Amino acid sequence: MTGDGPPEVGEYAVDVRDGRVGRVMGCVGPYVQLRPAGGGAEWDCPPEDARPTVLAEALRARVREINAEGRLR
């Protein structure tokens, strides 16, 4: 994710309004669509309120996704 544009699809971002971490699913209108780690409903986040995750945040989110995938099998 760069600081001069919308986050890239597939990257993790933090919604600074409430601290939620989500995977960027795309952009719809003026918003970035974020999906919670492990699945769930996407939410809209203004691009200016989406910041890159630090390594620890991204790792926690990825572990949640892997755990959720294991429960589906």
Average pLDDT over residues 6-18: 91
Is pLDDT at 14 greater than 50 in this prediction? yes
For residue 64, being part of any structural domain is answered with yes
Question: Does any domain span residue 49?
Answer: yes
Give 24-42 pLDDT, tens digit per residue: 999 999 999 999 988 899 9
**Count of domains observed in the chain:** 1
Answer yes or no: pTM beyond 0.85. no
Q: Is residue 5 part of a domain?
A: no
Assess whether pLDDT exceeds 90 at residue 63.
Answer: yes
Answer yes or no: is 30 within a domain. yes
Q: What is the DSSP string of the chain?
A: --TTSPPPTT-EEEETTTTEEEEEEEEETTEEEEEETT----EEE-GGGEEEPPHHHHHHHHHHHHHHHHHH-
User: Structural domain of residue 47, as residue ranges?
Assistant: 12-72
